[in-house]
Amino acid sequence: MEQTAQFTRLDGVVLIGYFIGVMVFGLWVARRVRSSDRYFLGDRKLRWWIMVGQAFGTGTHAEHPVAQAGAVAEFGFATIWYQWKNMLITPFYWLLAPWYRRSDRTTIGEMVEDRYGRRLAMVYTLFAIAYFVFNQGAMLKGAGKAISVATGGQAVSPNEVVFAMTAAFIVYSFFGGLVASAYTDFVQSFLIIVLSVMLIPAGLSRVGGFAGLHESLPPHFFTLYSEVSGLTAFTIAMLAVNGIVGIVAQPHMLSLSATGNTERAGRVGQTYGTFVKRLCTIGWALTGLIVAALVVQQGTPLPEGEAAFGFACREFLAPGLTGLMIACILAANMSTCSNFMVNTGALFTRNFYREYINPNASDRQLLMMGRFSGLGLTLLGILFAVAVERVLDAFLFTETIAALMGVMFLGGMLWRRANRYGAWAATLGAFLSYYALNYLMSCSAGEGHETFSTLTGAFRELAARVQAGEMFAFLDTGAYKLVYPWKPGPFGWAMVVGFAALIIGSLLTRPEDQEQVERFFDKQRRTTDEEPDPETGLRPLAAERGEDLLLLDLPGWFTAERWQGFFKRYREDLVGFVLAWFTVGLLIAVAWGILQIGK
């Protein structure tokens, strides 16, 4: 007999209790927020364990388990690399995190202004605000859909969930800012972990344990790498590049890395908060395997792959647990949306209001503008949530444009000679080439309305049509889209064009003011864990504490000075980087070990 999740009175008590509890806790934490710096950055006094919870909670959304379980149910465990795409670059978070704290800025827009000037800062700020609004709306709608399915589509509608969830996180975020967001993220992170594992015990019992999984599914479902999943080695490599270039420019990176009470707290939080998410991904993937096995055993196919998570909820949740599942889904999204609301307010206040409207604004005015602008822009996210239908495409789009925008940011940190002209060329070149190549691949392959699966095939067809004098007729068959399905070829070439344009454009134009560049990089050479000297106003050099940064100004590696006292100067980077790679190996070993059970 099929079991279905029912939204009972007990579920309602659990859900209402969650809403009330998280709001009361957030307001209690918010009671001491009286300054703009504390509102936007928590006075940079958050402990490492809060930073871990903040990074994990902000980086985990409700659509992640839904998408991962669906992909595994359809193609096998190897699709875990859709979520693990950043696994191979997570150790670099240890090296990147100090950049944001040492900048001594509140937003990445201000960092861009320090490096390239006001115009590019404005461009970045517009991108960042759109990024937050678009992400918030998509996350709200994603949670609404998941919850509506989990309750059988009768107890609540997706839009009702959107409004209730938004009201809850707005209350504590409006008053408490980053402090309330970070502490509630930490608390809600435990619910996200529960979300990752609560379906597994009942599911394994239904399918006959791990032995039942192996009896029901083909061998390729239990491999860590399989091209059957659609993820080739080149695709995984391009996803990793997407991750490292995109993550540096994502506008919430500063609050995730720079708000700790020490530089190490920021490193630990960003790196190991992300590793906790990688661990939870194993649970989501295992849920997908269980659903795939149960579907085979019952002989009833799913209507679509991404229905796997909702199917598991209906099949495995006992009465009373539906409310807990809904609370977990809410936690996965509210923790992110609250952080985004604060960051959106910071961007608007610091980069628009103070820069162009009221340069002499008092701290109290900045605080109030941060609160109300974050509120207003979040409401725009609600409008998008009500209108949007496909959630997954929205997230893939924002991750990709972050990488295209990240070329100029990453290039400016790695190369002193990069200038604003090269940055403009890189940004325009990356975006134009990405969209042009995707448009080319959307053209008709010659039979019906089929499109090209590879960029090489598209170029061959274009060359043949040029020779036949049919180039324009061929190009007319393409489709103009804001959001194209992500493909490794167009993205890889966009990165090549972007970085080449940065280098060539910078070399052919006049350099940035040397004093400005030196001032920017001098901050990166100094520790923020000690107070400035009262006479010089400068902080101590990080090299004296073994905390020099490996990735800054990569061309400098060709100088003898860079190698003097190497381990002593870069001790913090080197030791942490190695330990992070050890953690990567450990997580992969855990996943492999689970797949061997029951063989």
Bridge partners, residue 46, by sequence: 260
The pTM of this model reads 0.84
pLDDT at 159: 60
Please tell me the distance from the alpha carbon of residue 284 to that of residue 329, in angstroms, as a whole number.
Answer: 13
The mean pLDDT of 464-470, rounded to a whole number, is 90
Instruction: Decide if 503 contacts 416 (C-beta within 8 A).
Output: no
Terminal-residue alpha carbon distance, the chain: 29
pLDDT at 4: 47
Please tell me the distance from the alpha carbon of residue 7 to that of residue 13, in angstroms, as a whole number.
Answer: 10
Helices (H), 415-487: 420-441, 455-467, 471-475
Contacts of 554 (CB under 8 A, 6+ apart): 414, 415
Residue 469, Cβ density class (10 Å: 0-12 exposed, 13-18 middle, ≥19 buried): exposed
Of 2 and 275, the one with more pLDDT: 275
CA dist 35 to 177, 178, 575, Å?
10, 12, 37
pLDDT at 310: 73
Q: What Rg, from alpha-carbon coordinates, does the chain have?
A: 25
Please tell me the distance from the alpha carbon of residue 147 to that of residue 138, in angstroms, as a whole number.
Answer: 14
Of 109 and 338, the one with more pLDDT: 109
CA 565, 568, 50, 326 torsion-angle sign: positive
Q: What is the mean pLDDT of the chain?
A: 83
For residue 2, pLDDT over 60 is answered with no
Question: What share of the chain in percent tops pLDDT 70?
Answer: 84
Please tell me the distance from the alpha carbon of residue 426 to that of residue 494, in angstroms, as a whole number.
Answer: 9
The mean pLDDT of 475-494, rounded to a whole number, is 87
pLDDT at 251: 87
pLDDT tens column, 72-105:
998 899 989 878 878 889 999 999 999 999 999 8
Instruction: Decide if 155 contacts 27 (C-beta within 8 A).
Output: no
Instruction: Decide if 309 contacts 65 (C-beta within 8 A).
Output: yes
pLDDT at 1: 36
Residue 384: which H helix or E strand, with range?
A: helix 363-387
For residue 334, pLDDT over 80 is answered with no
Residue 180: which H helix or E strand, with range?
A: helix 158-197
For residue 152, pLDDT over 90 is answered with no
* Architecture of the 38-400 domain: Up-down Bundle (1.20)
Question: Of the candidates 270, 260, 336, 262, which has an alpha carbon nearest to the alpha carbon of residue 89?
Answer: 270
* Number of H-type helices and E-type strands within the chain: 24, 0
For residue 154, pLDDT over 60 is answered with no
For residue 427, pLDDT over 80 is answered with yes
pLDDT at 26: 74
Instruction: Decide if 276 contacts 103 (C-beta within 8 A).
Output: no
Of 329 and 542, the one with more pLDDT: 542
Per-position b or e across 503-526, b if 16+ CB within 10 A of its CB:
bebbeeeeebeeeebeebbebbbb
pLDDT at 348: 83
The mean pLDDT of 334-354, rounded to a whole number, is 78
Helix axes 63-75, 118-150, angle to 10 degrees: 70
Of 69 and 340, the one with more pLDDT: 69
- Residue boundaries of the structural domains of the chain: 38-400, 425-510
pLDDT tens column, 212-242:
999 999 998 999 987 776 677 888 888 889 8
Of 520 and 385, the one with more pLDDT: 520
Residue 582, Cβ density class (10 Å: 0-12 exposed, 13-18 middle, ≥19 buried): exposed
User: Cα torsion for 446, 451, 455, 457, to the nearest 10°?
Assistant: -30
Please tell me the distance from the alpha carbon of residue 459 to that of residue 98, in angstroms, as a whole number.
Answer: 43
Bridge partners, residue 526, by sequence: 541
E strands, 25-64, are none
For residue 480, pLDDT over 60 is answered with yes
Please tell me the distance from the alpha carbon of residue 81 to that of residue 239, in angstroms, as a whole number.
Answer: 9
Long-range contacts from 298-305, C-beta under 8 angstroms, 24+ separation: 302/73, 304/70, 305/70, 305/71, 305/73, 305/74
Residue 111: which H helix or E strand, with range?
A: helix 108-116
Please tell me the distance from the alpha carbon of residue 386 to that of residue 353, in angstroms, as a whole number.
Answer: 28
Residue 140, Cβ density class (10 Å: 0-12 exposed, 13-18 middle, ≥19 buried): buried
